[in-house]
Amino acid sequence: MSSDALAIFDFGHKLDAEYKSKLVGQTAMFADLDRDKDPEQTLSGMMTEARLVRNSGSAALAPGSVVKYTTVGTDVEAAGSGDVPAGVVDPWLTSDAEQDETFWIVIEGPAKVISGGAFSDGDPLIAGAAGKAVTNTINHTKLGKAMADASGADELVRAYISIPGVF
């Protein structure tokens, strides 16, 4: 269940080590804003739900990467092809989420994902290799739907993330 209260910090930031053990797993709602603009601009009237998690994997996680749970609700690592997605790494981080760092993942609502290949606006998406989003051609565990076209791999593309409940 998400909180309607304001988050303790916005997208684009990581949590200080002093607090992470007490807050990991918390959810919060954020407005759908373009945080790359100054001042931030509203992209839609939708809200984005996020969960505070820790990178328990050995590899750094790029902003917009698809992740899976290693401990449900708290710890994540890069998702691979066919994995059940937990969410998408905060696309507004200015650096990768390194091992043991705490950060937001998007679990419901608009965000940006890293494409694993070409897809079109409206295509259903799933977790592909190396934490990238690919077109869902096999009706597998879904990640969400594309909200824009991707002409190839490694593009940061807007998508509507919709992770089924895991609890």
In tens digits, the chain (167 residues) has pLDDT values of 444 445 677 788 787 666 666 788 989 999 999 888 888 899 999 999 999 999 999 999 999 999 999 999 999 999 999 899 999 999 999 999 999 999 999 999 999 999 999 999 999 999 999 999 999 877 666 899 999 999 999 999 999 999 876 55
Cβ atoms of 60 and 98 closer than 8 Å: yes
Q: Label the pairing between strands 66-71 and 75-78.
A: antiparallel
DSSP state string for 107-139:
EEEEEEEEEES-B-TT-EEEE-GGG-EEE-SS-
Helices (H), the chain: 17-23
128-151 pLDDT, tens digit each: 999 999 998 776 668 999 999 999
Q: How many other CB atoms are found less than 10 A from the CB of residue 12? A: 15
**What are the structural domains, with CATH classification, of the chain?**
17-162 (2.40.300.10)
Token reading at 91: 């696309």
Task: Report pLDDT for 40.
Answer: 86
Task: Report pLDDT for 1.
Answer: 40
Cβ atoms of 115 and 133 closer than 8 Å: yes
Please state the pTM of the whole predicted model.
0.89
Radius of gyration over alpha carbons of the chain, in Å? 14
Task: Report pLDDT for 38.
Answer: 83
Task: Report pLDDT for 141.
Answer: 65
